[in-house]
Amino acid sequence: MIDSWGYVSNPSGGFLGACRHFADFPRGQMFLQFEERKLCFKIYGRGGEQRSSIRNKSHETLLETSGGRFPIDKPSRFGVGEYMTIAVADDKDVWVHRAD
């Protein structure tokens, strides 16, 4: 079930997105967001100046716990805002196709 769905405005023009699996952690919240052709692992980081540290640690922890079982990559750039993408998966790696 999708928790939220709609247009997400951003400086590069925005996109249609869907969010799922919100989970709290001590300094914020982690969630999945489908952004048209990719799945993004995102965090909402509270902590002001410590956001970069929270983002970097969250990225490292996600890669360690995935153990290479799921093909995720570092985003093209790390953001510094309250909402930050910590990893991405291309749509070809996300969708499972059924053989007929």
pLDDT tens, residue by residue, 12-60: 888 888 888 888 887 788 899 988 778 899 998 776 778 888 899 889 9
Q: How far is CA 42 from the centre of its chain?
A: 3
Cα 2 from chain centroid (whole Å): 15
CB 70 within 8 A of CB 94: no
Beta bridge partners of 85: 42
99 or 84, which is more confident: 84
pLDDT averaged over the chain?
Answer: 82
Residue 98 has pLDDT above 70, yes or no: no
What is the rounded (10 degree) CA torsion for 52, 58, 63, 64?
Answer: 120
Given CA atoms 53, 80, 41, 88 in this order, what sign does their dihedral have? Answer: negative
Model confidence at 88: pLDDT above 90: yes
